[in-house]
């Protein structure tokens, strides 16, 4: 059966405004109760949706007003008897209405944990009297891609410390080697002194032998002269 919008409107008017029964409407419109039921159910769903939307608009308006008065989400949730998901959604909508689109985008990107982190950072900076520009400079220094940043400087410092440790080890090895050389030099000097003493003793013994030889030759020569 083809139902025009006009016939649907008449059925709706008969039921909701004139309070006719299904049987009365069926007799007036020459229509099956099954079709009447479908039209009525569709209209009830539409009206319920409209009612819900209107109620939601009223809740949203109340929530926006409370937020504008400085109320926190938990206070709004208690006042309007709302759950956390709905209050969070309304709070984000309030941000957008206040032209805080970047705040909403930041929340979408970082979530609750990220938002708490930013708030903690903001409160700490405010407590220490640090401006946003100074915080940004600190973050830039912490950027690992920044050639003059803290991380790069820390890597450079570690590299220098490692090199210093390596130089210290080389110096220690050089000291040990020098100590060993000094011991060898001392040993060689001792050996040299010993050889010199031995040489001097041998030289003196040879001198004595040479002198004794000369004496013997003189004696033999004298003895030969006497014999003649």
Q: What is the pLDDT of residues 17-40, one digit of tens each?
A: 999 999 998 999 888 999 999 999
Q: Is 33 part of any domain?
A: yes
Torsion sign over Cα 110, 114, 115, 121: negative
How many structural domains comprise the chain?
1
So what's the pLDDT on residue 213?
Answer: 82
Q: What are the C-alpha distances in Å from 122 to residues 11, 55, 111, 159?
A: 62, 37, 17, 34
**Cβ-based neighbours of 92, under 8 Å, separated by 6 or more:** 104, 107
- Kindly state whether residue 181 falls inside one of the protein's structural domains: no
CA distance 41 to 36: 9
The pLDDT value given to residue 218: 76
Q: How far apart are CA 155 and CA 145, in angstroms?
A: 12
Between CA 46 and CA 199 the distance in angstroms is: 129
Write out residues in the chain with pLDDT < 70, as ranges.
1-2, 99-119, 132, 135-153, 224-228
The pLDDT assigned to 210 comes to 85
The verdict on residue 201 lying in a domain is: no
Angle (nearest 5°) at CA 128 between 124 and 130: 90
Residue 118 lies in a domain: no
Say which residues have a Cβ less than 8 Å from residue 128's Cβ, sequence separation at least 6. Answer: none
Q: Which residue has the tokens 């009447």?
A: 36
Q: For residue 77, how many other CB atoms are within 10 A of its CB? A: 20
The C-alpha atoms of residue 15 and residue 46 are separated, in whole angstroms, by: 15
Residue 190 lies in a domain: no
Give first-to-last CA distance, the chain, whole Å.
184
In-domain check, residue 86:
yes
Report if residue 41 sits inside a domain.
yes
Cβ atoms < 10 Å from Cβ of 94: 20
Q: Which domain holds residue 32?
A: 1-95
Query: Contact 90/60 with Cβ under 8 angstroms?
Result: yes
In a domain, 136, yes or no: no
72 with 84: CB under 8 angstroms? no
Please tell me what DSSP assigns to residue 1: -
Burial call 9-26: b when 16+ CB within 10 Å, e when fewer: ebbbebbeeeebebeebb
């Amino acid at each position: 059966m083809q139902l025009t919008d006009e016939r649907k409107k008449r059925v709706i008017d008969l039921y909701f405004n004139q309070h006719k029964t299904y049987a009365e409407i069926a007799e007036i419109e020459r229509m099956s109760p099954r079709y009447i039921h479908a039209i009525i159910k569709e209209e009830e769903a539409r009206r319920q949706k409209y009612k819900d939307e209107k109620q939601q608009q009223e809740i949203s308006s109340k929530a926006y007003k409370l937020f504008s008065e400085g109320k926190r989400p938990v206070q709004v949730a208690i006042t309007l008897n709302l759950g956390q998901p709905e209050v969070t959604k309304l709070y984000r909508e309030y941000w957008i209405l206040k032209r805080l689109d970047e705040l909403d985008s930041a929340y979408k990107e970082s979530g609750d944990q990220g938002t708490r982190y930013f708030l903690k950072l903001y409160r700490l900076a405010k407590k220490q009297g640090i401006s946003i520009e100074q915080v940004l400079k600190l973050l830039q220094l912490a950027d690992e891609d920044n050639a003059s940043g803290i991380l790069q400087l820390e890597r450079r410092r570690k590299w220098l410390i490692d090199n210093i440790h390596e130089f210290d080890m080389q110096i220690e090895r050089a000291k040990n080697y020098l100590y060993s050389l000094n011991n060898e030099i001392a040993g060689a000097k001792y050996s040299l002194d010993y050889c010199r003493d031995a040489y001097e003793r041998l030289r003196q013994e040879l001198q004595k032998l040479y002198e004794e030889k000369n004496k013997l030759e003189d004696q033999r020569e004298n003895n030969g002269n006497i014999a003649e």
